Amino acid sequence: MVQDEQDVSEDEQEQELFEHFKIEVDKGQESVRIDKFLSARIRNSTRSKIQHAADSGSILANGKVVKSNYKIKPGDVLSIVLPHPPREIELIPQDIPINVLYEDAHIIVVNKAPGMVVHPAYGNYSGTLINALIFHFQNLPESKTAISPELSVNRPGLVHRIDKNTSGILIVAKTEQAMVKLSKDFYDRNLDRRYLALVWGNFDVEEGTITGNVGRDLKNRKVMNVFPEGDNGKHAVTHFKVIERFGYVTLVECKLETGRTHQIRVHMRYIGHPIFNDPEYGGDRILKGTTFTKYKQFVENCFALCPRQALHARSLKIKHPFTGKEIAFESELPEDMQKLMDKWRHYSQFNSFEEIEPNK
């Protein structure tokens, strides 16, 4: 597992990344759009920056989230969270081993190890997949992109990413042409991405579809949430299929129709099946099973065996950016998830379960 260069707590990162403003509208203020009002009142801000904050749910009027077209009224109490101007992060080539599944003149397909951060960001300035890629592959095309409202960095070759503690397949562009074509295919969803996830609980169906807007949680910006109604978040669809049942947990395959941040993790929690050992979305607690001490110890041992969310980007099918031919890649489960599956498989074969209600 790659260690962070420096131990930066989440609270320290929040303080470093964001500025908080609270403004009470004067009694004589005329009614204008909130984005116009705030961009004039807050130093070094722009209207587009204010609108971006509104789109991410970071502007409140009288304690309620509002859009950028909200018309302010005298006496309104406005709250806004804005990112500090992003710092330029120097990319340092590092001789870090990476598992390359495929390479040609146009693309690289990598099987990312669990625990490896994909690109540098606050608190992870080195030891990332990008640091390894620029060491092993020269002249990767630049991609200076806003990875979030808070930060913009150079991500040479990257057209998509997966979470630090999610393992599996990533495709990297080696040329500008490949980057443009792959980026468009990801944006248009002209591809097939499938993940394997061990989730809590049993299902009463063999397959299904989860639909619900995904966006930043209104109370905790570090995690995402599902908004089944209203304008918050972005449209998100996840298709799932049961692969293997272990009684209290289930192995499912998830196919992404959209690609939102933490989409599978937050969608699975939304339907009552958090991913096993996912600390951000409630999967790191014993959610199903017996009260027996031996069972509790068994689950704790499973947590120790796979000390991360049990999620793996197993396969990717896409058209080659140069030839146009369909290409497909698949990766085996990493050792920690494979051992976790074996342990649950053995437990389910040699232990009798309580009466298990589907979807419970």
Terminal CA-to-CA distance of the chain, rounded, Å?
34
Given the residues 163, 185, 204, 284, the one annotated as active site? 163
Are residues 89 and 79 in contact, defined by beta-carbon separation less than 8 angstroms? no
Concerning whether 163 is annotated as a catalytic residue, the answer is yes
Are residues 346 and 247 in contact, defined by beta-carbon separation less than 8 angstroms? no
Which amino acid is located at 213 in the chain? Answer: N
Q: How does DSSP classify residue 330?
A: E
Query: Which residues pair with residue 112 across a beta bridge?
Result: 168
Nearest to 78 by CA among 106, 95, 102, 53: 53
Task: Report d(CA 223, CA 262) in Å as an integer.
Answer: 8
Helix (H) or strand (E) holding 341: helix 335-350
Are residues 41 and 27 in contact, defined by beta-carbon separation less than 8 angstroms? no
Give start and end residues of each alpha helix (H) in 108-214.
Answer: 129-136, 176-188
Q: Assign residue 230 a region: left if phi > 0, alpha if psi is -120 to 50, beta otherwise?
A: left
**Where in the sequence numbering do the catalytic residues fall?**
163
